[in-house]
Amino acid sequence: MAGYDESEIEKLIDGKLPWTRVQEIMKDAKDADRIEKWVAILQRRVKWPERILLPLTPCLFIVQKGRSRIVKCRCGQEFGDYRANWKLEALIHVRETEASLREVYRGSEQPDPAWVQIREYSCPGCGAQLEVEAVPRGCPPDFNFLPDLDTFYRDWLERPLPDEQEFADKTLEVVRSWSEE
């Protein structure tokens, strides 16, 4: 089983390793302790104290905050319970006119705004663009990943998390609390 220094993993994730070395890593059996080193590196890079349970994207992490597990941006912005789609707490900018699409896609590169919207989700804290969706009107936002954290830590990593929580999609619970007007 391969094993790598944390410093080498850090160079790998930052795209700083020579390509020949990356290829060796790709071809070799995977290092089983990658997640520990990966999380340790990411934890060092954020300024807040909450423990990272799982990185979701380059910006967003599921963290343990008190007895809650929430989604948190590297800038510190919080997005609520990880079991509800974090996009509900993001800023959204939708491109659905030729003029607004033109800022990204021009001329023959432009999709038809009657067929598709470009939805840009940004962090209210730092302005990082977190996800972009290209879907027709009517499509609910993708809840890209709802991890089964307790099964992961208990059965796969054999390091159970305290305070097991129900594995369930809470997105519609949030929406139900919203007023249509």
Partner 1 sequence: MSSVPRMEKLQDRVSLKDQLRRNDELFAETGSLFGMKTLPRKQADPGMYEAVWAILLNICNTGWIVGCKVSSSPVAAEGGDALWCLHLPTGEAVCASKGIVSHPGLLSLLIRSYIEHGYEEYPGFHHGDIFENNDSHYGGLHSPDFQTAVPIFYDGELVAWAASVSHVMDAGFVTPGSIGFLNPDCFSDGVPVTMEKIGENDRVYPWYEMRMRSRTRTPDWVLGDARGRLAGCLTIRDRVTKLIDKYGLAYFQDVTREYIEDSRRYAVGRIRTQGVPGRLRKSNFKDLAMAGKRVILPQQNVDCLFNQPLEVTIDANAKVRFSVRGASGWVPFGENITPSACISGLLNVYSHMVGFDMFNWGAAAAWELETPPAGSWANPYPVNYFASSGVAWAPAVTWLSSLYEVLGRLYFTRGYVEEVAAGAATTMTAEFSGVNQYGLFTAGLTLEQASNGQPARAMADGDNSAWSIYTPQADFGNAEISELFYPIMFLGRNVEPDSGGYGKFRGGLGHTAVWMIKNTPGIEYQCGCAGLRSKVVANHGMFGAYPTWPDRPSYATGTNVKELIDAQKPLVHERGDSDEPDLVKRVRATRLEPNGVAPFVTPEPLHEYDLVVHPISGAQAFGDPLERDPELVRSDLDAGWTRERVAAEVYGVVARRDATSGEWTVDQAATERRRNDMRAARKKRGVPFRQWWKDERKRILARENMASAVLDMWRASMTLSPDYAAELRAFWKLPDDFTF
Site for partner 1 in 68-87 (CB under 8 A): 87
Q: How far is the CB of 49 from partner 1 (least distance, A)?
A: 21
Q: How far is the CB of 48 from partner 1 (least distance, A)?
A: 19
Q: Find out whether 69 and 81 touch, Cβ atoms under 8 Å.
A: yes
Rg of the chain on CA atoms, in Å: 19
- Distance CA(116)–CA(173), nearest Å, equals 27
Q: Using CB under 8 A, which of the segments 43-51, 65-73, 110-118, 158-166 binds partner 1?
A: 110-118
Report residue 98 as tokens. Answer: 């030729």
Report the residue from 148, 160, 163, 164 that binds partner 1 according to the rule CB under 8 A: 148
Q: Find out whether 137 and 117 touch, Cβ atoms under 8 Å.
A: yes
| Length of the chain, in residues | 181
Report the residue from 3, 76, 104, 160 that binds partner 1 according to the rule CB under 8 A: 104
Report the residue from 20, 49, 103, 162 that binds partner 1 according to the rule CB under 8 A: 103
- Distance CA(31)–CA(118), nearest Å, equals 38
| 53 closest CA partner among 37, 70, 41, 67 | 70
Report the residue from 8, 65, 143, 165 that binds partner 1 according to the rule CB under 8 A: 143
Q: Which of residues 22-61 bind partner 1 (CB under 8 A)?
A: 22, 25-26, 30, 32, 34-35, 37-39, 54-59
Question: Does position 172 bind partner 1 by CB under 8 A?
Answer: yes
